[in-house]
Amino acid sequence: KTQSAFVEKKHCNIGTIGHVDHGKTTLTAAITKVLANDGLAKFVSYDEIDRAPEERSRGITINAAHVGYSTKVRHYAHTDCPGHADYIRNMISGASQMDAAILVVAANDGPMPQTREHLLLAKQVGIKYILVYINKADIVDNELLELVEIEMRELLSDFGYDGNTVPMICGSALKALNGDESEFGAPSIRKLLETMDDYVPPIVRDLQSPFLMPIDNAFTVPGRGTVVVGTIKRGVMKRNDEADLIGFGHNIKTTLSDIQIFKKSVTEALAGDNVGVLLRGMKIKSVETGMLLCAAKSFKLSNHYKAKIYFLTRNEGGRKKPIFSKYSQQMFSGTWNIACRIDLDPSLHMMMPGDHGEVYLTLLEGMVMTQGQPFTIRENNVTVATGIITDTLP
């Protein structure tokens, strides 16, 4: 019963990704334009989207526009970033946690370096559903459109998506934005939206596993105690449940004295809910952003993890030099970062930028990381590697 409550919300986080100037912002504006004409959204102009306000997420500055619109089927929160670096930061920091992405590729260029990089990142951060919008169909002939489609299917397969089944829509975002009703104009946008509704299934939250919530924020309510704020990642929280607040080498036992959603007390909250939780006997100074609130005894701290990693090439903004064992840098994951040492597979002497493979991570302090959790490695504020956790080691 609770499960269906989530399906009924029918909300989807989506975003445009792809090479600079391929038409991501034009497409975002065109979607709102077409839906506005059909009475389903408020038109948001190109300039409004491109002037995305600066926001700080997980300690890094990101420019991102969040545009909301609805089809007949569901509501979408759509993220469009102005620059390539903003995408990198947005995606690897999980700032907008896209359920699906629209990969925009200009037909006159075909896939370009940032097309590949965004696709790689999409895979690494766990975006399950990709749709391709082959843009600028107004300035190329049909043969080229077909060629780009073939190239894109191969590229998708190279990155671990099912290239054969990923939907591809050809069109012209610019024509659509200008109200053109010919094939590549507004109809291509309607087709894209219908495909989004069909292809991306309703996101069902995991309500079975023990609850887990990364802490985004914490504050003190005078006379009551410490409240931690976050979005429940999985499971169900009930008032008076026992819990552990865990991370950065600490594991503190506590009890959920009160749970609030939109400032109203509730007896339970489900995965996907944004909540404030009053923790019994908790001191504010014990709480750090990036700790986890989880069901009692459901997780153990560890300093050691196995991971799959990809070192960005120089062109992708990565290192010039090879990577050897004992490579120590700052690791970023979710809402937190920590000093981390990377050791290569013993059979390898070194790895080069552009290489990917299995590595061993040693964190300065014990943390909880789960299988499939994405992270990045940054060197002097530049992302040099992205990875996912594959195993917790004792």
> Within a 13 Å sphere around the CA of 223, how many CA atoms are in the beta-carbon half?
0
Distance, CA of 341 to CA of 324 (rounded, Å): 11
Q: Which stretch binds ligand GDP (CB under 6 A): 19-27, 35-43, 116-124, 252-260?
A: 19-27
Based on CB atoms, which residue is closest to ligand GDP, 19 or 205?
A: 19
Binding residues for Mg ion, per CB under 5 A? Answer: 24-25
24 touching ligand GDP, by CB under 6 A: yes
20 touching ligand GDP, by CB under 6 A: yes
Residues designated as active site: 21, 24-25, 84
Distance, CA of 143 to CA of 120 (rounded, Å): 27
Based on CB atoms, which residue is closest to Mg ion, 22 or 153?
A: 22
Q: Tell me the three state secondary structure of residue 184.
A: coil
How near is the Cβ of 117 to Mg ion at its closest, in Å?
Answer: 16
Dig out the tokens for 310 from the structure. Answer: 């990809």
Based on CB atoms, which residue is closest to Mg ion, 18 or 111?
A: 18
Q: Which regions of 175-241 does DSSP assign to beta strands (E)?
A: 212-214, 217-221, 225-231, 236-238
Looking at 55, 138, 149, 216, which residue binds ligand GDP (CB under 6 A)? 138
Looking at 118, 136, 190, 233, which residue binds ligand GDP (CB under 6 A)? 136
272 touching ligand GDP, by CB under 6 A: no
How near is the Cβ of 86 to ligand GDP at its closest, in Å?
Answer: 11
Dig out the tokens for 335 from the structure. Answer: 């809402």
Based on CB atoms, which residue is closest to ligand GDP, 172 or 373?
A: 172
Distance between the two ends of the chain, CA-based, in angstroms? 38
Pairing of β 129-135 and β 168-170: parallel
- Cα–Cα nearest to 19, from 108, 78, 105, 101: 105
Q: Which stretch binds ligand GDP (CB under 6 A): 168-176, 230-238, 291-299, 321-329?
A: 168-176
- Cα–Cα nearest to 71, from 193, 201, 171: 193
By CB under 6 A, name the binding residues for ligand GDP.
20-26, 135-136, 138-139, 172-174
